[in-house]
Structure 1
Amino acid sequence: MPGERTTAKQEKNGPTHVQGRTGKGGAMKLGRKPVLAGLAVLALAGVLVWWWAHERVYPGTDDAYVEAHVLTVVPEVGGRIAELAVDENDHVAAGDLLFRIDDRALKAAVDQARARADAALQSAGAAAREVAAAEAELDSARAARREAEADYLRQEGLFRRNDVSQSALDSALAARDRAQAEETAAAQQLARAQASLGDEGDRNAGVREALAALQMAEIDLDHATVTAPESGWIANIDLRPGSVVTAGQPLFSLVGDAEWWIEANFKETDLTRIRPGQPAAIGIDLCPALDLEGRVASVGPGAGAVFSLLPAQNATGNWVKVTRRIPVRIALDPVPEAARFCLKAGASATATVDTTAAPGP
């Protein structure tokens, strides 16, 4: 029938028309996919090239740490802690009292050394007086010898003229010999007195020894009071008043806050362009929002493994090449007072060096 044929024709043409449209859209979508994939690959390649160029010009590392001078406080004299002025995490300024050792015995040692120095000075003075007396005795003996010699010569002349007897001449000769012997004895006594005296005044060996002992006792007394050599923070203290310490015993640490730097370990492949004086951007993990600046102070002379107690031995059949890291010291620019809380010795940091800048002096 005509109506049925028309319907059948529509049904036949309808699905054919829909199928044609679907096939055309699928072909367009399939054509776009390679283009999008290519663009994505190009974008990724561009990012990688940019990242490579950036890392080459601005090498960075997160193997970096905040460093400061850490002083170990060690007493130079032993004794009982009489006064303790600091505790853990306290901040001290240069010259502030840290602790004081009981100094009564040290004061007694100073008094004893001073008494010995006075005795040495007195002994040197007595020896000087002995020398003066010996010199006077020698002068007297020398004058007596001259007088005895003159008398002997006079008696000898008179004896030749038979004006005096032999006994008178013999008496004059004996007197001369005694005078010569007394002069010799006086000279020997003077030599002994001078040897006992040594140098005069403070140049005298005994006096110098006694004065040196006095100075050492006074130094020990001064060492009983221990003050901060620089400003910083107290750490690792386990000390109480009444504790007994010995000379040379490490007591606690003082982390100085006057100078801070970053110890950044860069890969050896990143050191090609790094030079002292170049600026660097610093980040502190403790304060992520804080941006610090600094300059490369120095580049280490060798990898860290070289200076370890047991350096690695690579002369084996299973050797695998590993990129070494070289320490680079970055001196921080002056840090604002409000940001000093973020500086903790040993804290993790990041460092990026601007190698486009000319090296500093």
Structure 2
Amino acid sequence: MDARQSQVQLLLRDDPVVDETADTAPVARVGAEGFAPAFATAPPVAGPSRLMRSLRSAGRHLLTLAIAMVAVATALVAWQYYVLAPWTRDGAVRVQVANVAPQVSGQIVDVKVSDNQFVHAGDVLYVIDPFDFEVSQRAAKAQMDERAADLEVKQAESQRRQNLSPIATTPEEQQVFAGNAAQAKAAFDAAGQQFAQAEVNLKRTKVLSPVDGYVTNLLLRVGDYAQTGVTNISVIDSNSFWIDGYFEETKMAKICVGDRAEAKLMGYSAPITGHVETITRGISVSNAEAGTQGLPNVNPIYTWVRLAQRVPVRVAIDHVPPGVPLVSGLTATVSIVSSQPDRPAGLAGIPADILGRLSEVFYGPQPPRPGCIAATSGPAPAERVPVPADSPSDAAKQLEPGLAPGLTVSPGK
């Protein structure tokens, strides 16, 4: 019995410990009294069926196919947007600015506007001291009245001499009085013109806005001296905004006058819609500048690297979304939407564009689409300055020397 117990202890010391898990079939238990009964067997676990394995495999394949299709569609859209469609991030909002300069000189006594204020055409911007011009206007009026009285006297004297008989007067005397009347008439006309000029100068002391728009960068103050012809205030014409898109020359073949265009300003998601109005016909060429000794200044380039020039395209604005302000100088991303009627819209037109681009690579540039007015169109008819049909002024009429008005026979004949 002692030998049996010692053998059991030796077995317990040499056997490894077996973990009890759900998947372990045999479990050995040894007690102090001897070996346990026979090993216990766990119930078998049922594996996944063949149908479930097929569904899982098909789902993985469908997911892979869907991801591939999304990637292809994304690549096509990116190709269409970045390679085929004419677009540029180099765009800017432009506007016409009226640089207002006074037509008379003087000290500014009143400024009627403030910076960034909206004004209408004809509104007073500032006022120049009118005192000197009022004095000039009154003096011109008095001189004109004096010339009018002198003219009346000279004309009456000339008329009396014309009515006298040849015994009471001579042709020479008639001619002298007629000449005096003519000189008085000329002096009266000159005084009238001086009075009109004085009135105009007085009105010009009120400087008016020439357009509807916004006063910008106002630095004018009361007490400043305004000089004739020197700009001192600027007004942005609110009706003259447009967008310039600077497109690479490689995309100019797909841009035509009249094409619909969209522009997105940096910081605003809503697009501004418009259409291509004009295409610039010339840009500066650095090689055209003369260098030392008047020789051509040709810049060296790398043969295998050529940078595309950018051509300004003017886009007229048709609609501005609410909440999008037009500020001259803002950066815009300009996209040209082709108005070609036979081109499918959306993704349906991408394969045709890709085939067209590949044909251009292998067979050269394609001819412009029908009805396209591109930059190579003929020159617009030049405007002719209208020639006035009026006859020359009366001052250009020549009188026969030696004869006064109303005389047909020279003295002594």
Q: TM-score, normalised by structure 2?
A: 0.59
Match for residue 273 of structure 1?
254
Cα distance per residue 1:169-209 (max 9 Å; x no partner):
xxxxxxxxxxxxx65xx210111111222289xxx322222
Identity of aligned residues (%): 23
Match for residue 31 of structure 1?
none
1:297 aligns with 2:277: yes
The 5 A counterparts of 1:22-61 are 51-55=78-82, 58-61=85-88
The 5 A counterparts of 1:5-84 are 51-55=78-82, 58-84=85-111
Q: 1:51 to 1:334 in 2, by over 3 A?
A: closer
Amino acid at match of 1:318: P
1:195 aligns with 2:179: yes
Cα pair 2:212 2:237 within 8 Å, conserved: yes
The 5 A counterparts of 1:151-300 are 183=169, 186-198=170-182, 204-285=185-266, 287-300=267-280
RMSD (Å), alpha carbons: 3.2
Distance, in Å, in 1 between the alignment partners of 2:152 and 2:135 is 26
Shift of 1:309: 11
Q: 1:54 to 1:333 in 2, by over 3 A?
A: same
Match for residue 315 of structure 2?
330
Amino acid at match of 1:302: G
Match for residue 354 of structure 1?
337
Greater fraction helix: 1
Match for residue 88 of structure 1?
115
Q: 1:334 to 1:207 in 2, by over 3 A?
A: farther
Distance, in Å, in 2 between the alignment partners of 1:311 and 1:344 is 38
Cα distance per residue 1:22-60 (max 9 Å; x no partner):
xxxxxxxxxxxxxx9xx98x9988866654444565301
Cα pair 1:57 1:356 within 8 Å, conserved: no
Match for residue 393 of structure 2?
none
User: Structure 2: 5+ residue runs without aligned partners?
Assistant: 1-63, 342-370, 374-413
Q: 1:311 to 1:297 in 2, by over 3 A?
A: farther
Cα pair 1:283 1:290 within 8 Å, conserved: yes
1:319 aligns with 2:301: yes
Match for residue 124 of structure 2?
97
Distance, in Å, in 1 between the alignment partners of 2:124 and 2:286 is 37
Amino acid at match of 2:261: A
Shift of 1:97: 2.0
Distance, in Å, in 1 between the alignment partners of 2:150 and 2:326 is 61
Shift of 1:306: 4.7
State the secondary structure of the residue aligned to 2:155. Answer: helix
Shift of 1:238: 1.2
Match for residue 327 of structure 2?
344
Cα pair 1:57 1:354 within 8 Å, conserved: no
Amino acid at match of 2:329: G
Amino acid at match of 2:320: V
Match for residue 28 of structure 1?
none
Amino acid at match of 1:102: D
Shift of 1:318: 1.6
Q: 1:329 to 1:253 in 2, by over 3 A?
A: same
Q: Which moves more between the two structures, 312-321 or 78-87?
A: 312-321
Cα pair 1:278 1:360 within 8 Å, conserved: no
Which of 162, 169, 189 is matched with 1:135 structurally? 162
Cα pair 2:87 2:336 within 8 Å, conserved: yes
Amino acid at match of 1:333: D
Distance, in Å, in 2 between the alignment partners of 1:235 and 1:65 is 19
Amino acid at match of 1:329: R
- Ranked by relative contact order (alpha carbons within 8 Å, sequence separation 6 or more), the top structure is 1
Amino acid at match of 2:237: G
Amino acid at match of 2:245: A
Q: 1:307 to 1:66 in 2, by over 3 A?
A: farther
Shift of 1:262: 0.1
State the secondary structure of the residue aligned to 1:288. Answer: coil
Distance, in Å, in 1 between the alignment partners of 2:119 and 2:247 is 35
How many matched pairs?
273
State the secondary structure of the residue aligned to 1:271. Answer: helix
Q: 1:267 to 1:314 in 2, by over 3 A?
A: farther
Distance, in Å, in 2 between the alignment partners of 1:283 and 1:74 is 35
Cα pair 2:287 2:297 within 8 Å, conserved: no
User: Structure 1: 5+ residue runs without aligned partners?
Assistant: 1-35, 145-181
Q: 1:56 to 1:199 in 2, by over 3 A?
A: farther
Amino acid at match of 2:109: A
Amino acid at match of 2:195: L
Match for residue 155 of structure 1?
none
Distance, in Å, in 1 between the alignment partners of 2:131 and 2:268 is 53
Shift of 1:133: 2.4
Distance, in Å, in 1 between the alignment partners of 2:139 and 2:250 is 67
Amino acid at match of 1:326: V
